[in-house]
Amino acid sequence: MSFSIAPDLADFIQGLPKTETHLHIEGALPWDFMRRIDAVKYAEPPDSWANDYKYNDFAHFEEHLLGLAFQWYTSPEKYHEAAKAIFAAHVAAGVRYVETSFASGVVEFLGLDGKAVCDAIVAAKPPELELRVFMGIHHSGFIPAMLPIIEKSLTWKNLTGLDLHGTETLPIDPITPRIWQEARDAGKVTKAHAGEFCGPDFVRYVMDELGITRIQHGVRAAEDPFLPKELAERGVILDVCPISNHKLVPGIRLENHPIRALFDAGVKVTISTDDPLTFGNTISEEYAVLHDITGFSRNELKQICRYGLENALVDDETKAAWLEEMPKN
Ligand SMILES: [Zn+2]
pLDDT tens across the length of the chain (329 residues): 588 899 999 999 999 999 999 999 999 999 999 999 999 999 999 999 999 999 999 999 999 999 999 999 999 999 999 999 999 999 999 999 999 999 999 999 999 999 999 999 999 999 999 999 999 999 999 999 999 999 999 999 999 999 999 999 999 999 999 999 999 999 999 999 999 999 999 999 999 999 999 999 999 999 999 999 999 999 999 999 999 999 999 999 999 999 999 999 999 999 999 999 999 999 999 999 999 999 999 999 999 999 999 999 999 999 999 999 999 87
Separation of alpha carbons 252 and 243, rounded Å: 10
Residue 2 has a pLDDT of 81
Q: In a 10 Å sphere around its CB, with 0-12 CB exposed, 13-18 middle and 19+ buried, how is residue 164 labelled?
A: buried
Phi and psi at residue 209, in whole multiples of 5°?
-95, -30
Closest to 164 (Cα-Cα) out of 104, 248, 99: 104
Q: Check residue 274 and report its DSSP letter.
A: B
If one counts every other C-beta atom within 10 angstroms of the C-beta of residue 228, the result is 23
Spacing, Cα 89 to ligand 1 middle (Å): 19
Q: Where along the chain do its domains lie?
A: 7-324
Residue 179 has a pLDDT of 97
Spacing, Cα 239 to ligand 1 middle (Å): 9
Spacing, Cα 323 to ligand 1 middle (Å): 26
Spacing, Cα 164 to ligand 1 middle (Å): 9
Torsion angle defined by CA atoms of residues 198, 282, 268 and 177, in that order, rounded to the nearest 10 degrees: 40
Spacing, Cα 174 to ligand 1 middle (Å): 22
Spacing, Cα 23 to ligand 1 middle (Å): 6
Name the catalytic one among 196, 230, 233, 300. 196
pTM equals: 0.97
Residues whose CB is less than 8 angstroms from the CB of residue 206 and which lie 6 or more positions away in sequence, other chains included:
164, 192, 194, 212, 215
Contact assessment for residue 302 and residue 326, using Cβ atoms and an 8 Å cutoff: yes
Half-sphere exposure of 10 toward its Cβ, with a 13 Å CA cutoff? Answer: 8
> Which residues is 18 bridged to in the sheet?
95
Spacing, Cα 155 to ligand 1 middle (Å): 24
Tell me whether residue 196 is one of the annotated catalytic residues: yes
If one counts every other C-beta atom within 10 angstroms of the C-beta of residue 135, the result is 28
Q: How many angstroms separate the Cα of 252 from the Cα of each of 165, 172, 189, 222, 241?
A: 20, 25, 29, 12, 12
Spacing, Cα 219 to ligand 1 middle (Å): 12
Spacing, Cα 193 to ligand 1 middle (Å): 7
Spacing, Cα 176 to ligand 1 middle (Å): 18
Contact assessment for residue 71 and residue 22, using Cβ atoms and an 8 Å cutoff: no
Starting at the edge strand that comes first in sequence, how are the strands of the sheet with 237-240 ordered? 18-24, 95-103, 130-138, 159-165, 189-194, 214-217, 237-240, 268-271
Spacing, Cα 281 to ligand 1 middle (Å): 14
Spacing, Cα 216 to ligand 1 middle (Å): 6
CATH class assigned to 7-324: alpha beta
Closest to 105 (Cα-Cα) out of 178, 165, 38, 195: 165
